[in-house]
Amino acid sequence: MSIPHVLEISRRDLMVGTAAVSVAAANAGASAQAQSTTATIDRHSTQVSFTVNGTRRELTVDNRTTLLDALREQLALTGTKKGCDHGQCGACTVMVDGRRINSCLSLAVMHEGDEITTIEGLGTTSDMHPMQAAFVRHDGFQCGYCTPGQICSSVAVLEEIAAGIPSHVTEDLAAQMQVTDAEIRERMSGNICRCGAYANIIAAINDVAGRPA
């Protein structure tokens, strides 16, 4: 076999070997990229379990998902409204372990094991919560968009006063907490009604509190 022929065979073998190495490297790179993508998805998502309106729910959510979006988009509880999405209007108010929060400002992953109550959990059209019935009786709404948050907040307001939790306008911290128009206005100030039904909302809350509406 001539030397040029031997050199040609060696060159051909080297090219085949190089191509095989290149293919193997490409496959390894694709596999690593796929594994990296999977790891990224897993790293950015969390499984969370909480009780909503008396029912245990388990969700896998993006870590950035707000409680509001989890309730509306994944659990189809659309009574809780998205208004400003900045915690300023109160339309997204729900109760967590008995305390009201703006669900647009709270991440779903923060509520592992919590008890969450939305407007759907307070009552139904055939069996309304006393506060829902009072809002209907006193016409405490017009367009109704803010009403779920208003009602959840109203229920929480009376519970806060009953528990002796003071507000900015509470004058005597040592005295028995009382329901007054001033207390209601201050405590409900985080819930905005564009229709201006505030007077009727106060009347509804007073009604449930047993005060003259």
Tokens 């496959």 locate to 27
Closest CA to 156 of 116, 187, 120: 187
Burial (CB count <10 Å: 0-12, 13-18, 19+), residue 37: exposed
Burial class (CB in 10 A: 0-12, 13-18, 19+), 208: buried
Contact (Cβ atoms closer than 8 angstroms) between residue 115 and residue 67: no
pLDDT at res. 42: 75
Q: What is the pLDDT of residues 69-118, one digit of tens each?
A: 999 999 999 999 999 999 999 999 999 999 999 999 999 999 999 999 99
Residue 136 scores a pLDDT above 90: yes
pLDDT, tens digit, for every residue of 144-174? Answer: 999 999 999 999 999 999 999 999 999 999 9
pLDDT for res 9: 46
Strands (E) in the chain, as ranges, are 45-52, 55-62, 93-96, 99-102, 115-117
**Predicted pLDDT of residue 156:** 98
Instruction: Tell the residue number behind the tokens 């004058």, with chain if given.
Output: 171
- In this prediction, residue 28 carries a pLDDT of 55
Structure tokens at 23: 């293919």
CA–CA separation, 92 and 76 (whole Å) = 14
> For residues 163 and 158, what is the distance between their CA atoms, to the nearest angstrom?
9
Return the pLDDT at 27.
57
pLDDT digits (tens, 9 = 90+) for 15-47: 445 444 454 455 555 555 545 443 445 789 999
d(CA 127, CA 104): 28
- Supply the pTM of this predicted model: 0.79
pLDDT at 2: 54
**Residue located via tokens 């409204």:** 81
Per-residue model confidence (pLDDT) at position 29: 57
pLDDT value of residue 122: 97
- Above 50 in pLDDT, residue 200? yes
Tokens of 37: 């993508």
